[in-house]
Structure 1
Amino acid sequence: MGHVVDQHALIRGNRIAYGVHGEGPPVVLVHGTPSSSYIWRNVVPHLVSTGYKAYVFDLLGYGLSERPWDPSIDTSMTGQVSVLEDLLSDWGLDKFHLVAHDIGGGIAQRFGVGSVGSLLSLTMIDTVSYDSYPSKRTRQQMEEGLETLIKKPDAEHRSHFREWLLSTLSDAANFDPDALKTYLDFISGPIGQGSLFQHQVTHYDPKHTMEIADRLDVLGRVPVQIVWGAEDAWQVVDWAHKLQGAIPGSALHIIEKCGHFAPEERPAEVAELLTSFFARLPSL
């Protein structure tokens, strides 16, 4: 399966690419950085085949969605909550399972503490939380200044971020070359390179998760599971345990031989954890 988005919606004047697949109870999947809905391409078919309706989209400024030129347009985690809310309205969803990866988990935390009644369940996969980000390496990059990074030669940029992407798997040799190229193309070139820093890196600010960190217990009002790659070098497993401790009743599943991009590296295991989790919950 290739790209999972094939439709578009105009959300607050900006074009959002999305896709809807299958029939059954709704599952909304939110990707992180530096990826797109493409990371769910091998998870969605499992959801569909087991009787779920998967809703996927590219965050504003990511993937196949619009990359706004206007710097006043908020593409931070906080800003993306509004995008999610408006998409849910367009889709007519008032109750759904929410699945989120990386900064998508930060978006899910902010959405969930304010709208927990909309959730049938919440699954967070290798997610940011508290002040777990940006990494030391990313902070060092940001200190160079975004303008400097935006103007780096394409070949240098691609080489650096190719290595960056490879570090998301427990074994870089297993990264599918076509998938690696797709991720890299989205964040490189005349549009992608500048967009990466304007819409993604500049918003790597823990204020978005720290602002709601003392309210994470609210999420315990619905079934919550936390899924983590045992060898996640971007968000180490310690953060998974801290997150679990803050959410009453939440379950934690560690996937062995798996890095930060669990939906990319272990899609079958991720899909099985999702469908078995959903199956244990009361039906709609």
Structure 2
Amino acid sequence: MNHIADRDAVIDGHRIRFGIHGEGEPVVLIHGTPSSSYIWRGVVPGLSEAGYRAHVFDLLGYGLSERPLDPEVDASITGQVAVLDGLLDEWGLDTFHLVAHDIGGGIAQRFGVRSTERLRSLTLIDVVSFDSYPSERTRQQMAEGLDALERTPDAEHREHFRDWLLSTHSDPANFDPDALDVYLDFISGPIGQPSFFRHQVAHYDPRHTLEISDQLGRLGQVPVQPLWGADDTWQITEWAHRLQAAIPGSDLRLIERCGHFAPEERPREVAEGIVDFLDAQRR
């Protein structure tokens, strides 16, 4: 396992795992669900080689960060903005490039409309927006209650979510089996399984993005790039076009033969897309 988050910080009383790689202009990367900073392991080297300093971290309740026992701890999209704020203070970052994937994009949108002046640029990779999530099936499960899913036998749980994760790739055969096990391990077992439903699924609530959807125009004050897997079935490209239309001047870039987990399935192309976009701001 190549975990690129290798240090800890205490943010608002909670342990957050993070990592810093390379030298140069700071780039903060926010992962989504059901993943961790591990998803950036193939992207970060390309950023470092291009002269950027990559800051990665595991969201509260995800990956190698703390999984709080207190159910009142806010691990929602909105709650994670406070975690980002604390890490930016820890890192001493005033302005920076921001890159986000999946629900990390919801965090980035909320941060960005509030603190646009701190962004040097924004790259949104296959992100949630508006009411693009959760799926109808997940909405039904949430309405019925997640307690039973927390108690599903481990083998059954892992089999179901293995199939679910495979659907993040345009070609499931491209999913590295070792990496697939890493993602499954994070959301399985006596800690991972209940934590997944309490800290991730329970917060699949579109109000966090709908609340700021009428403010997305503010992001047009900075360079914005939606970067999307052309074959994404979780956040289909129609949402990419809607997001582009809501952010003046944003420039959509599609990655062919790529699904929702673009940083996992096409890390070289994702790194190239980010670097090309960031380098353009230097000219």
Normalising to structure 2: TM-score of the pair? 0.99
Does residue 71 of the first structure (1) align with residue 41 of the second (2)?
A: no
Structure 1: tracts of 5 or more residues without a match: none
Identity score, percent: 69
- Distance between the aligned counterparts of 1:174 and 1:281, measured in 2? 33
Give structure 1 regions of 4+ aligned residues with deviation exceeding 6 angstroms: none
2:105 aligned partner, one-letter code: G
Task: Look up the match of 1:90.
Answer: 90
- How far is the alpha carbon of 1:86 from its aligned partner? 0.6
* 1:184 correspondence with 2:184: yes
Question: Which AA in structure 2 matches 1:62?
Answer: Y
Partner of 2:215 in structure 1? 215
**1:37-48 matched pairs, under 5 angstroms:** 37-48=37-48
Match of 2:114 in 1: 114
SS at match of 2:238: helix
**Is 1:270 the equivalent of 2:270?**
yes
The residue that corresponds to 1:205 in the other structure is: 205
Alignment of 1:251-270 (within 5 A): 251-270=251-270
Deviations 1:169-201 (A, max 9, x none): 001011000100000000000000000000000
Q: Does 1:160 align with 2:160?
A: yes
Q: Shift in Å at residue 8 of structure 1?
A: 0.2
Secondary structure at the aligned position of 2:99 is classed as strand
Give 1:158's aligned amino acid. Answer: R
Partner of 1:249: 249
Note the C-alpha offset of 1:138. 1.8
| Pair 1:226 & 2:219 matched | no
CA RMSD of aligned residues (A): 0.9
Q: Residue 200 of structure 2 aligns to which amino acid in structure 1?
A: Q
- Counterparts of 1:168 and 1:154, CA distance in 2: 21
TM-score, structure 1 length as denominator? 0.98
Equivalent in the alignment of 1:193: 193
Number of residue pairs aligned between Structure 1 and Structure 2: 283
CA distance in structure 1 between the aligned counterparts of 2:243 and 2:24, rounded to whole angstroms: 30
Amino acid across the alignment from 1:17: R
Map Cα deviations across residues 244-275 of structure 1 (whole Å, 9 max, x no partner): 00000000011111000000000000000111
Amino acid at match of 2:159: S
SS of equivalent residue, structure 1 residue 152: coil
Q: Secondary structure at the match of 1:281?
A: helix
Unaligned stretches of 5+ residues in structure 2: none
* Distance in 2 separating the partners of 1:147 and 1:279: 47
